Chain A
Amino acid sequence: MIDDLYQETILDHSKRPRNHHPMDDANRRAEGYNPLCGDKLKLYLKLEGDIVRDASFEGAGCAISTASASLMTESLKGKTREEALKLLDKFHELLTTDTPASHDLGKLVVFCGVRDYPARVKCATLAWHTLKSALTNGDETVTTE
């Protein structure tokens, strides 16, 4: 059912995205692009040592990609780089496999419905692809392709 995909939390975050602004003092930036739908996203991170102190994003996309970026930036704050990358793996697992959702995902489990819509998985992962780029490569544009 459509409500399983567009759960209340997802609709809320797509209409009122959190951390949706540029960040002047960010020390990590990356851009993500989904050539299938034209969605573009800019991610800003403020890293102190190994810890993500702040995260924000800019860009407009579909409800799934906007909510994903919003919830991702919320869940990153205070995590170490290693924890963030681990979360990325778990999120990807949630979207692409049938394994039960990991407890570490917290609110991110609302995206579990996406696995039934394979055409939409890339919408949900755009922000996370961008995160990986920001944490591992520094400034550059990644695509979901």
Chain B
Amino acid sequence: MSALSSVIWRGFDVEKVREDFPVLRQTIHGKPLVYLDNAATAQKPFAVIDAIRKFHEVDCANIHRGVHELSQRSTAAYEETRVKAKRFLNARSKSEVVFVRGTTEGINLVASTWGRKNIKEGDEIIISALEHHSNIVPWQMLCEEKNAKLRVIPMNDRGELIIEEYEKLLSPRTRVLAVGHISNALGTINPIREMIEMAHRAGALTLIDGAQAAPHVKIDVQALDADFYTFSGHKVFGPTGIGILYGKKKLLEAMPPYQGGGDMIRTVTFEKTTFNELPYKFEAGTPNIAGGIGLGAALDYVNKLGLDQISAYEHELLVYGTKALSEIPGLRIIGTAREKAAVISFVMEGIHPHDIGTVLDQQGIAVRTGHHCAQPVMDWFHVPATTRASFAFYNTIAEIDALVTGLHKVQEVFGG
């Protein structure tokens, strides 16, 4: 780990990167903030904050319909993000990139438009044991409505999906595979390329929940051959309330609209409405313009750092953190997948995660405690909740050391 103790790791100057994030420059309860709740939401660099501010200070107008200068500027800036998101995902065309509020809305959009049109009684939808509630509940609701069946890919003790069991679930009845790229609760990276191929062989469509993947790994929807891929802006260092849904053009074209309103129509009479072209057909109402512009700045920022570089640096954090935490007596890491993002979920013998979280907070350390909106994952491991430290590229080895010191303090308070 000596390579990491130096400030600059293989050209990645983490101290310099940290200067871009104003929120990190504060103390909490008198201690420097150690922010390890990145899987819940990521902090925002100046580039994002400034882009949103500039929109409100200089360019603010509604988009797509004004002929005046401000409206044109706003439209251009907002639409520019669509182009950036197209590049970020390597989509074929920007008409395949739909703005949504976040991953949850992306999934709900597909379940309630494509799903309601195509799912019939007796059809099957496959999800996995690792899913966030957002990728369970919309499909459950759809299955209930259509009398279809929800099938669940099980996982092993490491928190990896069992691909042989997935293979067995696939059948001519399978219509959709909806699976997370990376698990929010455990950090498991799923072999989605292989899983998508298997689904396609069975004649099913695929939706990938990319909420946890977008900030950490390079995404290529064409190489993956994903039919739908969705992620949230706020987890990729952009603002909340904005996200992206990618869908293959021919699928989006055949889908009914999601909501009715302005922007999604071409012509309206009281007899008949014709819908706008892609992707606007799915974007009713004035959108989160500032959020969209902020997301564009966030994607630029991430691209500038480079996702390969980010992945490599975060992997070093994961390796160091896993080793350091494993050495704490009575601490058990939940989720030890061989392919894993920089998330460490753990439990400590005899100490409840909420108590751990409170004592760590008093030392300036922000972690997430609870079921992480993945109750089935907790049930499988027979724990009511875990403590989760999730890392971003601005985290440091020194912060992991602070976490370890914090956990010793936790044991001091509750030990004996």
Is A78 positioned at the interface, with any CB of B under 8 Å from its CB?
no
Asked if A37 meets B370 with Cβ closer than 8 Å, knowing A2-B362, A117-B358, the reply is yes
Q: Which residue of the partner chain, among B359, B362, B385, B414, contacts A38 with CB atoms under 8 Å?
A: B385
- Over the window 369-403 of chain B, the binary record of Cβ atoms lying under 8 Å from chain A Cβ atoms (1 yes, 0 no) is 11100010010000011000000000000000000
* A64, B384: Cα distance in complex, Å: 16
Q: Cβ of A62 and Cβ of B359 under 8 Å apart?
A: no
Q: Cβ of B358 and Cβ of A37 under 8 Å apart?
A: no
Q: Cβ of A2 and Cβ of B413 under 8 Å apart?
A: yes
Q: Which residue of the partner chain, among A11, A37, A120, contacts B385 with CB atoms under 8 Å?
A: A37
Asked if A62 meets B362 with Cβ closer than 8 Å, knowing A38-B384, A39-B384, the reply is no
Is B167 positioned at the interface, with any CB of A under 8 Å from its CB?
no
* A117, B370: Cα distance in complex, Å: 16
Is B353 positioned at the interface, with any CB of A under 8 Å from its CB?
yes
Asked if A62 meets B352 with Cβ closer than 8 Å, knowing A2-B359, A38-B385, the reply is yes
CB distance from B345 to the nearest CB of A (A): 14
* A40, B379: Cα distance in complex, Å: 13
Is A5 positioned at the interface, with any CB of B under 8 Å from its CB?
yes
Is A23 positioned at the interface, with any CB of B under 8 Å from its CB?
no
Interface size on A, residues (CB 8 A): 21
* A13, B43: Cα distance in complex, Å: 39
Interface size on B, residues (CB 8 A): 18
* A2, B30: Cα distance in complex, Å: 13
CB distance from A121 to the nearest CB of B (A): 12
Is A108 positioned at the interface, with any CB of B under 8 Å from its CB?
no
Is B355 positioned at the interface, with any CB of A under 8 Å from its CB?
yes
Q: Which residue of the partner chain, among A11, A36, A38, A119, contacts B413 with CB atoms under 8 Å?
A: A11
* A53, B256: Cα distance in complex, Å: 64
Chain A residues numbered 1-20 whose CB sits less than 8 Å from any CB in chain B: 1-2, 5-6, 11, 14-15
Is A55 positioned at the interface, with any CB of B under 8 Å from its CB?
no
Q: Which residue of the partner chain, among A2, A15, A38, A60, contacts B358 with CB atoms under 8 Å?
A: A2
11 A-B residue pairs with Cβ-Cβ distance under 8 Å, sorted by A, are: A1-B362, A2-B359, A6-B359, A6-B414, A37-B385, A38-B371, A38-B375, A38-B384, A63-B351, A64-B354, A117-B358
Residues of chain B touching chain A, judged by Cβ–Cβ distance below 8 Å, are 351-355, 358-359, 362, 369-371, 375, 378, 384-385, 413-414, 416
Residues of chain A touching chain B, judged by Cβ–Cβ distance below 8 Å, are 1-2, 5-6, 11, 14-15, 36-40, 60-64, 117, 119-120, 123
